[in-house]
Amino acid sequence: MTAPITATAPSSAAVGNIPAARSSAPGGAMGKNEFMRLLITQMTHQDPLNPQDSAAMAAQLAQFSALEQMTNINTTLQDQAAANAALAGAVNNSSAVALLGKTVTVISDQIAGGAAGTTSVAADVPAGGGHLSVRIMDANGVTLRTKDLGTVGGGRTAADIGELTRALPAGTYTVAFDLATGTAAVTHPSAFVTATLDGVRFGTNGAIVTSGSLSFPIGAIVSVR
């Protein structure tokens, strides 16, 4: 008499060459190892005289193949992103060193005072223009110096503030523009500072260029001369 066929439970350590899953995938999602273990366990416990439908088995194998391909693609994309970030950082660092000694225009409201203070700033005036003035403030926002630039048209307007900054103690200050239009509304165009770069430092957020006591991210530079 033929002995009945009984299923043998797979080892908890491993099934075939598939290592035991020590933890589930993040968020409770099924990783490819968990999926393969589940598939092999199902095949091991099925009735050999009434096996699983072949179409369902083919679909399961296709799902496993797609899962593995997506995992490989995701890994490749992550590696490429890391390589691109490293390359961009190296290019920025190299560019920052090449800027030493150059005079640049930077989007910033920080200026320096004293004998070696900032001498030139600019503002982008909207089309239609208006009456423009510039203010220099201390760290507490108190206005220390002002200069009336008169009526200006639209476009970038430069302002010489050397006589204002030289009269201040050495240090870092803030500059702001006030634009009065025909409707009596006052706006504050963005400030652009001109400075000669004398240093560079590298941090986790990229290269930082310096001019005396002032520091600017390299991405804030809009022109070099």
Q: What is the pLDDT of residue 138?
A: 94
3-state secondary structure of 15: strand
Cβ-count burial of 40 within 10 angstroms (0-12 exposed, 13-18 middle, 19+ buried)?
A: middle
The rounded mean pLDDT for the chain is: 78
Structure tokens at 129: 């223009």
Q: What is the pLDDT of residue 31?
A: 63
Is there a contact between 129 and 152 (Cβ–Cβ < 8 Å)? yes
The mean pLDDT of 188-216, rounded to a whole number, is 87
The residues with which 171 forms a beta bridge, in sequence order, are 113
Which residue in 107, 112, 104, 170 sits closest to 136, CA to CA? 112
One-letter amino acid of 54: S
Q: How many CB atoms lie within 10 A of CB 55?
A: 8
Between 87 and 36, name the one with better pLDDT: 36
Whether 21 has a pLDDT exceeding 50, the answer reads no
Collect all residues with Cβ–Cβ distance below 8 Å to 92 and sequence separation of at least 6: 206, 207, 218
Is there a contact between 99 and 209 (Cβ–Cβ < 8 Å)? yes
Q: What is the pLDDT of residue 109?
A: 94
Confidence of residue 78 (pLDDT cuts 50, 70, 90): confident
Q: What is the pLDDT of residue 92?
A: 61
User: What is the C-alpha to C-alpha distance for residues 179 and 134, in angstroms, rounded to an integer?
Assistant: 9
Is there a contact between 151 and 131 (Cβ–Cβ < 8 Å)? yes
Q: What is the pLDDT of residue 108?
A: 93
- Chain center to CA of 56: 46
Cβ-count burial of 135 within 10 angstroms (0-12 exposed, 13-18 middle, 19+ buried)?
A: middle
Q: What is the pLDDT of residue 134?
A: 95
Q: What is the pLDDT of residue 142?
A: 95
Structure tokens at 150: 């008169």
Q: Is the dihedral of CA 86, 92, 95, 97 positive or negative?
A: negative
Is there a contact between 112 and 170 (Cβ–Cβ < 8 Å)? yes
Q: Mean pLDDT: which of 92-96, 133-137, 184-188 is highest?
A: 133-137
Q: What is the pLDDT of residue 9?
A: 46
Confidence of residue 137 (pLDDT cuts 50, 70, 90): very high
User: What is the C-alpha to C-alpha distance for residues 39 and 70, in angstroms, rounded to an integer?
Assistant: 19
The per-residue pLDDT for range 28-76, each reduced to its tens digit, is 556 667 777 777 777 777 666 665 566 666 676 677 677 778 878 887 7
Could you tell me what percent of the chain has a pLDDT over 90?
A: 33
The per-residue pLDDT for range 150-183, each reduced to its tens digit, is 999 999 999 999 999 999 999 999 999 999 987 7
Q: What is the pLDDT of residue 18?
A: 47
3-state secondary structure of 118: coil
Between 133 and 37, name the one with better pLDDT: 133
The pTM of the full predicted model, rounded to 2 decimals, is 0.56
